[in-house]
Amino acid sequence: MNPLISRLQPGATPGLWIDGTDYCARLFGADAPWLDVTAGVAWLRKAQDLLRSDVLELDAMRIVDAACAARLELRTAMAARSRGGYALKTLLADESLRALLVEWVVALRSALPNAPLCLRLPSPRATIGHAWQLAHGAPPEDAADEDMIDAAALHVADFLRGFSSAGLDALLLDEGSGPMPAADTLALYQSVLNVAAGYQWAVGLACPQGTGAADLPAAFAFAVADAPLTVPTVLRLPASVWDGGDAGPAAPLRHVRIPEPTQPEQVLRQLGQLRG
Neighbours of 164 (CB within 10 A): 12
| Tens digit of each residue's pLDDT (9 = 90 or more) over 99-112 | 999 999 999 999 99
pLDDT at 212 over 90: no
Domain boundaries, the chain: 54-230
Answer whether 0.85 is exceeded by the pTM: yes
* Sign of the CA dihedral with 217 first, then 6, 15, and 21 last: negative
| Tens digit of each residue's pLDDT (9 = 90 or more) over 228-276 | 888 899 999 999 999 888 888 889 999 999 999 999 999 999 999 999 8
Cα separation, 231 vs 8, in Å, equals 10
Triad 268, 46, 261: Cα angle to 5°: 45
DSSP letters of 98-119? HHHHHHHHHHHHHHSTTS-EEE
Task: Return the higher-pLDDT residue of 227 and 24.
Answer: 24
Comparing C-alpha atoms, which of 64, 62, 56 is closest to residue 88? Answer: 64
Mean pLDDT of the chain: 94
> How distant is the alpha carbon of residue 201 from its chain centre?
14
* Sign of the CA dihedral with 30 first, then 119, 183, and 156 last: positive
Residue 18, CA atoms < 13 Å, CB-side half-sphere:
27
